[in-house]
Structure 1
Amino acid sequence: MANLTELQTPLVVVDAPAMRRNITRMAEAAAAGGKLLRPHGKTHKSGWIAREQIAAGAVGMTCAKPGEAEVFAAAEIQDIRIAYPISPTYAPRILSLMDGVRISTIVDDLEVAGGWSDAMVAAGRRLEVLVKIDVGTHRCGVDPRQRDALGFIERVSGMPGLDLRGLLSHAGHSYAAGSVEEIADVARAEAAMMAELVEGCRARGVALEEVSVGSTPTALVSATLDGITELRPGNYVFHDRTQVGLGVVDWPGCALRVHASVTTFPAPDRLVLDCGSKVLSSDGARGFSATPGFGVILGPDGQPDPGLLIERLSEEHAVVRVTGPTRLRIGDRVTVVPNHSCVVANLTNLYVVAEGDTVLETCKVDARGLVN
């Protein structure tokens, strides 16, 4: 087997043992809480990793766009949920997917829901849908504090060609929390809002079978809460610097790393790595304290090197400020934990799957770039 040091950098490396620990931990938490697990595949965009998650107990996969759904269907995933408000103009592709796998999606607009109803009636089919609820992220979804959510749900339930399965939410605002307890509060508030809507629908004669929530920071708490039937975390499979910053995981739990090399050392306080924005992305990190820079360089002990800060990226260059003693020289290799693993995954063609320094295999990022 090859050794990582034999491969040219930059490399996007998946630590196989860490990834499998992450997969197992979430599967066990969902099972212990009596919840179904439907991981969001937009993090890894890989049919191979999706199958690993299914083998560990996931009931199906979540994705963001039809292109991802098509990749997972080709990877023989049988139950796929598109947790994105896709337009009815995608109906031909969705109908094609429905010929081979179970497909569901979300709605948060009556005109769009009506368009899907018309498309399904015309095709003589029925599409499973969930109503997206805005629980505080204020991105997509019906916000019960501003709209008649119960009336919306009731109208969707009566549309021909649609099977209303339940409600779906994403507590993305958990990423702005200031403590572990604040993250738990977000999860509890999400569950309470969803339970209130379910009860209100029941009073109107609308039965909802599913309450699906997603967000890696809140997932382990949500697994313990009543009224939720399904968890849809995505980032947990890899984790990243943000998850460490939010107290979700420690550094050894970050399964996706970037291996890079020092290409030049032009000044005593500055060196350059070969992993610019086309590898690391320009996303910042979040956490309970300041998270400067574009990823964290780990030292030999597997912890962040306090004397190195990736302070600037261009396309092919990561400019590192050197603030303390370093043994690094031109040609030396470093390991970087990215700020946001989901974006890094979409920037690479291949994962190098490794255990320690031993390369186990390479894995194609099947759905890379599929954003429609």
Structure 2
Amino acid sequence: MGRGKSSGGVEVRPNSIRISFTLNGERCRETLTLNGEPLAPTPANVKYARRVAAEIRDKIRHGTFSYHEYFPHSDAAAASSVPLLRDYLETWLNAVKPQLSPATLRTYRGKAKQWVAALGDERIDQIRHSQILQVLAGASDVTAKTRNNLLIVIRGAFDMATRDRIVDANPCDGIRNGRHQAPRPDPFTKDEMIAILRELHERHPEPIAALIQFKFFTGVRTGEALALSWSQVDLRANTVLIDRTLTDRALKMSTKTSQSRLVNLTRPARAAIDTMQRWTRLRGANVFCDASGEAMLDGRVVNDQHWRVVLKKLGIRYRDAYHTRHTFASLALMAGAKPGYVAKQLGHSVQVFFARYADWITGQDDAREADRINATIDEAFAPGGSPKTGSA
């Protein structure tokens, strides 16, 4: 039989009615049925079909169309129930959001956008291992850490899809993380630190100078200092409890390592706390504040308006304010403090601490060992480096 009349997405055939519509750029055609049998092309049924066709087009426009709802027995319904990568990445991000800091969530959202740009319109059950590799190969000019973050996002989404039984296997299997080399600690010298603090105290607001001094002499992270409240300060015991941090202007009730620690106040750190008593103690909230006395929610203000300015004026090579932490560690070790104690103050495991600060831990011992070698060499060599006459 020939093809029937078609208008408004409804095709009237001799013994049935077929609806056509465009979904995700593809033309779809479905026969209307009732109890498993084609719907007869009566005037009433044709009118009903036009209403259904208009409803489907409207839902497609608004992104609410469900193929399975309208055509549960269609082969296309099974295929359409598999989400596109763009949609499933959003589902995964919403699922892991409660476990992530705002900063980490922002990073993951950025990486998810890169995957959406590359493969977002693909059904997740049709994405292949080779496609993942191609996207990662296109990011070859980025750092290992950035590539790893890309991989964390896509691997995490497919891990969840595997558990949801949407895909049979994770196409990321067999792709290893790149080796990320953490930057070497680059502390300020004692003279540089003194010059920075002197400039801050003389020409910058008192709360800013107190904050930087506190960081230099406790080694706490910027977010930990900004989140410090007076309820965490024990002036009698001369300690502060570090158990929360501020990240992306939001308070997170745990530290970066998810472990609290008790930090002993050195004399300069205690002096910084005493200074802030005049500014914020009566309010009973955050210890540190900005120049106007308001709570400080973003450490970048300190960096851009004060820290960077001071270093430039003093001609000190720029390092961000995180290096106050490395400075505390290096000065403490050079002063003879036990590595285990310094590690505990910083919230590091001893293993991580030794790996990161090995140069300062062994520095004095290394010098002594070098002196022993030189003493042996001096017995056989003249000062200029030539063998002494008559030496074996």
Q: TM-score, normalised by structure 2?
A: 0.22
Q: Comparing both chains, which one has the higher relative contact order based on Cα–Cα distances under 8 Å and sequence gaps of 6 or more?
A: 1
Question: Which structure has the larger Rg?
Answer: 2
TM-score, scaled to structure 1: 0.23
Larger % of strand: which?
1
Higher helix share: 2
